[in-house]
Amino acid sequence: MPSNKSVSEAPIVQFTNCRILRSHQLQREDLWVREGKILNPEKLFFDEKGSADIQLDCKDSIIAPGFIDVQINGGFGVDFSLATDDFKSGIDLVSQKILSHGVTSFCPTLVTSPPSVYHQVLPQISIRNGGAHGAGILGAHLEGPFISKEKKGAHPEHCLRTFEAGAFQDLLATYGSLDCVRIVTLAPEMKRSSEVIRELTKRGICVSLGHSVANLSQAEEAVQHGATFITHLFNAMLPFHHRDPGIVGLLTSDKIPAGRRVFYGMISDGIHTNPAALRIAHRAHPKGLVLVTDAIAGMGLAPGRHTLGQQVVEIDGLNTYIAGTKTLSGSVATMDTCVRHFQEATGCSVETALEAASLHPAQLLGIEHKKGTLNYDSDADFLMLNDGLYVQATYIAGEEVWRQDALGM
């Protein structure tokens, strides 16, 4: 059957012999792509009378949406919280390197820093589509400095700030601009945080609760004002207590506004969260779980000393500590490792593990009509994986941007 070019001159690519993750199930069907979007084959056949220009045999691979990492502090020697003259080349390097780990979009994350760092770095982060040059940038995640001193974790205490009389103006003065900001992590127990949460939400910025000593009612109030995310659940917050479960209690709270879902990040690296805690969270609220790497500059590098913003960190195996302490400071796990560990630790289905790194972060950011699924008309950002969930190839806008070489498979 000749290809009908009346709709578009662009070639149609048909991926065959694969299992596609669609509607929460791995389905044995073909994937059709044109002009960077996923096609509905019925429309192609019946409305356009068209057919494929190129057929690719996927050799029984799983095809899943590309991973979305909403909390990554750097990697491969690059620290997003360091103001440097070649910041752009650093972010380009990370976006290129994470393709091999299945990440097709990400939110570069800055830890608590002095205002001068935000003023220098944020204008150098631009929201952009992914491609052969690297994963797409969805906007920055600013983790701090409006967080709790008691739960600062690896954040430098001398840079922490509170909301003064100006509240939202204080935040604007600290960051300098919110043009490229997608997520802000703050501690909801801070005075005047409610008005800040409302203002950020009004601007389409996702508010995440973290590095906090908030009790459950303070956390619920923050959600009622618009907060939708929890930064690395269990880490840097009050531990669960049966009389006041704190932020963790949001997973089963009955005070969440109707029609809203609270999402929560989990660092599934086998270090930050015991597998039993991972299982508890997943069983309590499976649809809110978002896998994040919380990766630091040392990801992809040998053990030793590296930076995390204003601090020096030490890598020992998969453990990363503030130098000279036992305070955990981010992770060196890659997203594909986190997906495999999550599946192994919880015994969840392959579909569930893959959606925690794709569909859920897309839903959190409100971009699930474009990314995080393989629905018709969505962006053709996808991965080929084997049954062990090892990434074999990464595609952005339907173009292959990374492939495991034959020797490494």
Question: Is the predicted pLDDT of residue 73 greater than 50, yes or no?
Answer: yes
Does the predicted TM-score (pTM) go above 0.85?
Answer: yes
The answer to whether 272 is annotated as binding is yes
Same domain, yes or no: 21 and 133: no
Computed over its alpha carbons, how large is the radius of gyration of the chain?
21
Strands (E), 52-186: 54-65, 67-72, 74-75, 78-79, 103-111, 136-137, 140-143, 181-186
The answer to whether 219 is annotated as binding is no
Same domain, yes or no: 91 and 237: yes
Give the pair of three-digit tokens for residue 191.
Answer: 């005075």
Domain count, the chain: 2
Scanning 138-274, the segments in alpha helix (DSSP H) are 168-175, 193-202, 216-224
Is residue 6 in some structural domain? no
Is residue 309 in some structural domain? yes
Is residue 3 in some structural domain? no
Q: What is the pLDDT of residues 256-270, one digit of tens each?
A: 999 999 999 999 999
Q: What is the pLDDT of residues 125-157, one digit of tens each?
A: 999 999 999 999 999 999 999 999 999 999 999
Backbone torsions φ then ψ of 117, nearest 5 degrees: -70, -45
User: Strand pairing partners for 109?
Assistant: 141
Is residue 4 in some structural domain? no
Question: Is the predicted pLDDT of residue 408 greater than 70, yes or no?
Answer: no
DSSP annotation of 364: H
The answer to whether 259 is annotated as binding is no
| Parent domain of 177 | 66-365
Is 294 an active-site residue?
yes
Same domain, yes or no: 181 and 79: yes
Write down the catalytic residue from 294, 336, 379, 381.
Answer: 294
Same domain, yes or no: 322 and 343: yes
Is residue 409 in some structural domain? no
Is residue 397 in some structural domain? yes
Same domain, yes or no: 296 and 339: yes
